[in-house]
């Protein structure tokens, strides 16, 4: 069995940053990712990121992805693609499906950067082809360069709903409307303003009552809700649509952490159950660390800083850097970046999709 | 509909055309397409029909997590169409229920 010092699960913003940071200090990091391309969801983010310049704000997501991949290459990080981690035992042995074949790797330290999955919204007809996550629509237009449909309605006015609506517009499809059960737009004002300028209506206090169609979505029926989100009878309106995009939030992908027995706790603002981590991004199991969206839904810029923190902490704990005032200061620097990024929003300020 | 011109991304230069077979019917795709995006570009939204109620299912997450878009590829069922690149000459079947392992028979 192959033995390594550090395995990072997931080659998204958190995982790449963690492996680069560890490799900078001499730890040979091995990154495993189930996809056939690295970068996680960064390459479909074609808009400029917020934050400070230090955290690559003003740079488009896919450019950040390319930068991280170049850095990983420069520092000799090994990335194995088509490698799905299906389990981890008590002795840090990872069970892996490596290109359809089973294999095992043992690691001294493991950093889990499994990301998140889009939340669905259940309503009659929600399983019809044409009902999809907003992120799915974003992947289709920005990566695969195919539009999900011609007549689209977006459910959710959070940042994901607003940004994906704009990405669809850039790809040549004008979304018919954005709806939200909330009484106010939940995403950033700057994003909402762009949508309004494009003439796309944002309909508040409405939810989906049902989707109709035989083999795929043909129509959506909306219904008004009151302040407690109860449906108000006889307020249905319907639209002819072929696609319903759901931007109703993300859930942290905690399966591996759960399986190994890391303690989880419930944090509704961060997306649900998340592993408990300390100031080193270490879980309740000594050799297991976690970073990025799986420790709470925030932004990619935060995921990158969390990844760096975990990577540095592993380098210290593996003895590649001595645990002295200097290394503590380096950790403190990353923590201060994190609190700066979270300022104004509070932890988990951006959660509504 | 394919996205050709884009204000941010590069022009979607026409990649090499390939042909795959959907339930025996020849369909054109472009190199680099996933099975799901090739189906969608050809206006096909249904990937499979469910086992119990024979209900249609299509793309839901598009990143290989939800397993809604399963198809049978070259006799192997339950292949996630949204993350599997389409290849020239591939035999794809809209999956019925759990599908069948034709590759083994």
pLDDT digits (tens, 9 = 90+) for A194-237: 999 999 999 999 999 999 999 999 999 999 999 999 999 999 99
Q: Residue A277 has what pLDDT?
A: 97
Chain A residues with CB inside 8 Å of B56's CB?
128-129, 215-216
Chain B residues with CB inside 8 Å of A146's CB?
1-3, 33, 37, 40-41
This model of the complex carries an ipTM of: 0.95
| DSSP conformation letters of A292-310 | GGGGS---HHHHHHHHHHH
Domain boundaries, chain B: 36-96
> 38-67 in B: which are within 8 Å (CB) of A?
40-41, 45-47, 55-66
d(CA B67, CA A183): 34
Residue carrying the six token digits 């010092």: A5
Q: Pick A130's closest partner by Cβ from B9, B33, B58.
A: B58
Q: Residue A9 has what pLDDT?
A: 98
pLDDT by residue (tens digit) across A17-75?
999 999 999 999 999 999 999 999 999 999 888 766 666 778 899 999 999 999 999 99
- Say yes or no for a CB contact (<8 Å) between B85 and A36: yes
Give B1's pLDDT tier (boundaries 50, 70, 90).
Answer: confident
Structure tokens at A178: 């954005």
- Tell me the average pLDDT of chain A: 94
Using CB atoms within 10 Å of the CB of residue A74, give its burial: 0 to 12 exposed, 13 to 18 middle, 19+ buried.
exposed
Residue carrying the six token digits 């990872």: A94
Identify residues of A whose CB sits under 8 angstroms from chain B CBs: 34-36, 41, 46, 60, 117-118, 120, 127-133, 135-137, 139-142, 144-148, 150, 170-172, 215-216, 253
Give A346's pLDDT tier (boundaries 50, 70, 90).
Answer: very low
> What order of strands is seen across the sheet that includes strand B56-57?
B56-57, B48-49, B95-96
Chain B residues with CB inside 8 Å of A127's CB?
55, 57, 68
Q: Residue A55 has what pLDDT?
A: 67
């Amino acid at each position: 069995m192959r033995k390594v010092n550090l395995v990072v699960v997931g080659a998204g913003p958190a995982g790449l940053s963690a492996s680069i940071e560890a490799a900078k200090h001499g730890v040979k990091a091995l990154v495993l990712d189930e996809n056939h391309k690295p970068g996680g969801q960064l390459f479909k983010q074609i808009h400029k990121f917020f934050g400070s310049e230090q955290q690559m704000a003003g740079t488009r997501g896919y450019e950040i992805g390319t930068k991280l991949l170049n850095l990983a290459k420069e520092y000799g990080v090994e990335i194995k693609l088509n490698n799905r981690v299906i389990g981890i035992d008590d002795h840090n042995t990872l069970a892996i499906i490596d290109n359809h074949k089973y294999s095992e790797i043992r690691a001294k330290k493991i950093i889990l950067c499994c990301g998140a999955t889009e939340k669905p919204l259940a309503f009659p007809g929600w399983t019809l082809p044409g009902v999809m996550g907003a992120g799915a629509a974003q992947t289709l237009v920005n990566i695969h360069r195919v539009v999900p449909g011609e007549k689209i309605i977006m459910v959710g006015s959070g940042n994901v709903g607003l940004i994906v609506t704009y990405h669809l517009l850039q790809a040549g499809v004008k979304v018919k409307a954005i709806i939200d059960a909330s009484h106010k737009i939940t995403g950033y004002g700057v994003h909402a303003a762009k949508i309004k300028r494009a003439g796309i209506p944002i309909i508040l206090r409405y939810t989906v009552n049902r989707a109709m169609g035989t083999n795929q979505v043909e129509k959506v029926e909306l219904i008004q809700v009151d302040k407690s989100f109860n449906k108000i009878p006889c307020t249905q309106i319907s639209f002819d649509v072929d696609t319903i995009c759901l931007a109703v939030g993300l859930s942290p992908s905690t399966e591996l952490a759960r399986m190994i027995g890391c303690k989880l706790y419930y944090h509704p603002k961060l997306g649900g159950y998340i592993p408990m981590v300390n100031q080193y991004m270490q879980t309740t199991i000594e050799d297991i660390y976690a970073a990025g969206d799986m420790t709470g839904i925030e932004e990619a810029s935060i995921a990158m800083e969390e990844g760096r923190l975990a990577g540095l902490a592993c380098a210290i704990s593996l003895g590649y850097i001595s645990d002295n005032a200097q290394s503590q200061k380096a950790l403190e620097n990353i923590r201060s970046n994190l609190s700066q990024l979270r300022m104004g929003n509070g932890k988990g300020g951006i959660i509504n999709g | 509909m394919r996205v050709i011109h884009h204000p941010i991304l590069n022009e979607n230069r026409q990649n090499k055309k390939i042909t795959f077979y959907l339930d025996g019917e020849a369909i054109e795709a472009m190199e680099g397409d996933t099975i799901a995006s090739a189906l969608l570009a050809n206006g096909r939204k249904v990937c499979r029909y469910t086992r119990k109620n024979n209900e249609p299912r299509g793309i839901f997450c598009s990143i290989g997590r939800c397993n809604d878009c399963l198809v049978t590829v070259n006799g192997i069922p339950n292949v996630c169409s949204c993350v599997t690149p389409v290849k020239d000459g591939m035999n794809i079947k809209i999956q019925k229920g759990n599908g069948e392992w034709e590759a083994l028979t």
